[in-house]
Structure 1
Amino acid sequence: MEECIPTRRHSRDYLVKFPEELLVDNLGNHMLFAAECLLAGTFLEVEEADGAQLRPQARNLLCSLEQVRTVLREQSLSQPSSYPEPVQAVLVQFDRLFAEFELSYVSSLVGVKSPEEIYRQQEIIVLFCETVERALRLGYLTQEMIDGYEPLLMFTIPRLAIISGLLIYPEGPLSLERSPEEMSQVFSPFYNLLKKISPQLLRSCPGTGLDATRGTHCWELRSRYSSTKDMLHTLFVCISGVADQLQTNFASDMRSILKTVFKIVASPAEPSEESSARQEKGANSCVADAPRMADCPLCSSPTEATGLRRAGTHHLPEWVPDSTCSQCSACRSPFTLLRRRHHCRSCGKIFCARCSPHAAALPHYGQQRPVRVCTHCYTTHLSPASRCARSQ
C-alpha cells in the first residue's frame, strides 16, 4: 500500500492514543488474527458482548482482504507491477476498514487516551523539558548525560519535574488550583500527596524571593520540624514516593513522556565530514577517501570493506571482549556503571550509546533486521540501502 496508494492511506493518528507496549511490529498481524477469531465466534481477549459488536467489522475487513487478494492475483497475471484505479480502490477500502477495526478492537481491550488526556500529557512533556533545561543551566545535569541516555535520569527527571511543577511553574500541569479531574491521569491519583508536598517545598525556601507574608508562614511551618535535615528528608521521601509510583503504575506513559523529552533536549546531530564527503563523491568511492578511525578493521582494509557490502558475505567482524576495553573507541569516554558498553555489529568494536546511536541492516553479515552500528561505520562503510533499512 505504501507503494500503490501512499497519499491515500487512512489516517493513523489514533495510534497516539494506544499504550506504548501495543505499538509493536506485529500489531497488524494480530489484528487480522483477531478478526478471524471473532468471525469464527471465538473471543480470545475481549468480552463476549464486545466481540458481538466487533464481529460485523471483522466480517467486512476479512471480505475486503479477500477482495484485495483476488484483484492483486488477477493483476499480477495480466500486468505485473501495475496498479490501475480498480486495484487502488480496493486497497483504499481495505486500509480504511483495517484502521477502523484496529481502533475499535484495541479500544475494547484497553483504555485509549482521549484527546483531552493527550493534551494534558503534552503539557507534562513541556514541564519535563523546561525542568531539564533549567537543570542544565544550573549544572544539576549535563548535556553529556542527556545525549548518553544515562539510566539515572529516568529517576532524576521525574523528581525534579515534581519540584518544578509545584514550585517554579505553579500554574502548569501540576497546578493544585485545578481539580484532580482536570489533571492528567498520570498525576491525578497523587493529588492529595502533592498538596502535602507543596507547602513543604515552600518551607524549604524562605528568603529566596518569597514575599514577607509567605516567608513568615513558611518559617512557622518549618519550625514544626526538629531540624532542617529532618524537613528535607521528609520532603525527599514524599517526592520519591510519587516518582516511584509513577514509574510503577504508569510505566508506559512515563516511558513515552521521557522518550519524547530525550528527543527534544538531546544535542542535534551535526553532519560529519565523512558524510559530506560521501554525498559529494558517491557511495561507491567513499571507503577509500573517508576519514579513518584508529584501529577500525574496515578502514585498515578498504578491499575487505568493499567485499563486506556484497550480499552473501558472512565473515563476521572480530568481537572485541568487554574486559579489554575501558573506554569508548570513538570519544574515549571511560565506561562506568551508567555509561555502558555497546558493540558495533559492523566493525565489532565497543562504543558508548552516544557514539553508536544508529541502526542498520547488515545483509553481508546475514543481519536482515536493523542492528546497532557506530556512527563511523554508519557514515563511512554502509551502503545507502543498509542505512535506509531501519526500524520504523
Structure 2
Amino acid sequence: MAKKIVLTGGGTAGHVTPNLALIPELRKMGYEISYIGSHNGIEKKLVEDFNVPYYSISTGKLRRYFDPKNFSDPFRVMKGFVEARGLLKKLKPDVVFSKGGFVSVPVIRAASTLKIPCVLHESDMTPGLANKLSFSSAKTICCNFPETLSMLPAQKAVLTGTPIRKELLQGSKEAGKAFCGFTDDKPVVMVTGGSLGAQSINETIRYALPRILPHFNVVHLCGKEKMDNLRLNTPGYKQFEYVKSEMKDIFAMADVVVSRAGANAICELAALRKPNILIPLSAKSSRGDQIINARSFEQQGFSLVIDNEELDEDILVESIFDVYKNREKYIEKMKESNQFGATETILNIIEEAAKK
C-alpha cells in the first residue's frame, strides 16, 4: 500500500517552494501526496501545476501587535483546526511535512491529536511565530542556519539546509533571453521583491533605469498588480508580475540579482552561485528575520547588503556596478559553501517519521 504524506505551508512563496522541491522526489519514492493550504493563499496557485490534490481550510494570522482582526482570527484558526482534523482523518497520512506560515498551525495541531508524526522546516535564522506554536507537536524540526539550532528544542532539531528545486539548476541562458526579448549581449540584472513584490525596490530600480540600461538589460519580477504600464515598451527592460516555469531560464541568464532576503530566495541564489544585492525587509514592517539572514550571507562573502532605509537610486546603481565588477569573487565564495544535499537529508527524515 502506498505511503501517504500531507504537505502544508503558505502565505508567501517562501512557505511553499521548498514543498514544491520535494514533490517530484516524494513521487519517485512512491508517496501519495496531498496539500492542505488556505482558501486564497499563493500556495493554491503554485501547487496547481504539480497535480497534487489541494484542500483548503480557514486560517487567521496570529499577530504580536494590536489589530482589530486579533478578535476574529482566533475563531478562524479554531475553525481551521476542526477542518484540518476532518481532512486528516479522511486522508490518513503516514506523516505531515510543514513549511510554516499560519495555515500550518491548525494542520500540525490537528495531526498531533491524531498521533500523526509531523516534520517542520524553519528557513529563517530565527524561528517564526507559526513554527514556534507548532514545536511541541513536531517529531523533528529541520533548519537552514547553524545559528538556529540553539533556538530549537535540542532533541528535535536537525540542520538540513533548504530543498532547492532541481529544475532551477537546469535553466538555459538563451531561453531566458528569448523569453525576455533581449537580443544583445549586455549582462543581465534580475530584480525581484519576492512573490508579493516590494514597492521600495520597484520604485528605485525604475528611477535608476536611465543609468542602468546603457550597460545592462533588466528583468524585473515586480509582484502582483505592480507592473508599470508606462514602461511596458522600454528597450532592455522586461517586467513580469510573477513567473513559474521560466524562472530557471531567467536565473540562468542573470549576472547580478537584486532581491529581498527571504531565506529560501537567498539559499537559491547561493546554490545557483548568483552574485547578488540583498535589500532585506525593514524591521519596521517585519520581525527582522530578513536583516539577520542578509547579514549572515554578507559575512560569508555571498552578498552585498543595502538596508531598506538607505536604499536610493545612487546606492543601488553603484552597488549593481560594484557587484558585477567583483562577480567572480562572490561566485568563488559561494562555491566554497556546501548548500546542496538538503533535499535528500529531509526525505530521509520524512521516511523515518513515516515509520512511526
Q: Tell me which interval the TM-score lies in, with the shorter structure as reference length.
A: under 0.3
Work out which structure has the larger RCO, using CA pairs closer than 8 Å and 6 or more positions apart in sequence. Answer: 2
**More strand as a share of residues:** 2
User: Greater helix percent: which structure?
Assistant: 1
Taking structure 1 as the reference length, the TM-score comes to: 0.22
